[in-house]
Amino acid sequence: MPLPVALSLTDVTVRYGERVALDRVCLEVHRGEIVGLLGPNGSGKSSTLAVAAGLLEPATGTVQIEGHSRAADPQGFALRVGLVPQEPAVYEEFTAYENLIFFGELYGLRGSDLRRRVVRTLARLQLTERAHDRVGTFSGGMKQRLNLAIALLHDPPVLLLDEPTAALDPASRDALLADLTRFRDDGHAILLTTHHIDEAEGGCDRVAILAGGRVVACGAAAELLRPRQADRAILYGHLRTRPPKFLEKALRRRLGSQVELEITGRRLRLAADSHEELGYALATLLADGVELEAYRTPAGALERALRADHSAGGHGA
């Protein structure tokens, strides 16, 4: 028997002036599942998350969380959603405990109930030992876990996460995804955006693929993503240093929507429709100063070609 629908978007349209960011989007997220939003930059992922969180008012359509709409019941709606932004929204001069007390009071929590929730939430995110340390001393992964703790403090049925692993090293990324799996199993409905195909396939129950502000495909992650992976040329690499975020964004724009670029810590993954496109994408990265220590392709054809180019004096690993 399917679990109840926690979040529903029905014929949602969002406009920024004359530009249509979302075009009659329909999407449901059930309790006890993780749904990933995939798509190129500008496809509508961030707008979908913002309208689901109540940060944007749709031009048309409805958004409901367990039957509560932002228009009819703004307080009931707000108390049923927890938003985790991409950049940790925490006060670094406060301790983890003080951050949770501060945000808990914003949710309207008070007294012993708030303190119990803070202690429980710190334990859920494995932050108890660092509860009274200043957040400025935390690693990026710990700040993101505190970010998630803040969103969970009022125990909302729906969690929304904007590229939650974007700035994390591989170990922190795996730990955060494990946390999300636990919260899904506890009955939360989770909607997240990601650029990582492997993250969506390994961590999501369903995926919705957006293009041009529309949901062009939605279904089980394994069914939608594995055939696509098999048809594409893929390269895995290990970076000497991770490029700054502004360069990552510039590279994605330069490569275009047909080439997937994923950088997690110092791991890199490129995917394109052909080995020729993949080679061009790699050449673009190397020309822009991205340094690869090693790389490999599942089929090995591109790797052999690159080695031959390197022996002739071109770029190489």
Cα gap 253→73, rounded to integer Å: 39
The arithmetic mean of pLDDT across residues 89-117, rounded, is 95
Cα gap 180→148, rounded to integer Å: 9
Q: What DSSP assignment string belongs to 244-279?
A: PHHHHHHHHHHH-TTSEEEEETTEEEEEESSHHHHH
Contact 184, 30 (CB under 8 A): no
Contact 130, 143 (CB under 8 A): no
Q: Which domains does the chain have, with CATH numbers?
A: 5-227 (3.40.50.300), 232-311 (3.30.70.860)
What predicted TM-score, i.e. pTM, was given to this entire model? Answer: 0.71
Enumerate the β-bridge partners of residue 37.
Answer: 193, 208
Tens of pLDDT, residues 139-171: 988 999 999 999 999 999 999 999 888 777 778
Tens of pLDDT, residues 83-97: 998 888 899 999 999
**Which residue would you say has higher pLDDT here, 63 or 223?**
63
Cα gap 181→176, rounded to integer Å: 9
Identify the pLDDT of residue 313. 40
Can you read off the two tokens belonging to residue 167? Answer: 């700035």
Only one residue has tokens 């790389």, namely 295
Residues whose CB is less than 8 angstroms from the CB of residue 112 and which lie 6 or more positions away in sequence, other chains included: none
**Which residue would you say has higher pLDDT here, 287 or 312?**
287
pLDDT averaged over the chain? 85
The closest alpha carbon to 82, from 143, 5, 157, belongs to: 157
pLDDT of 315 > 60? The answer is no
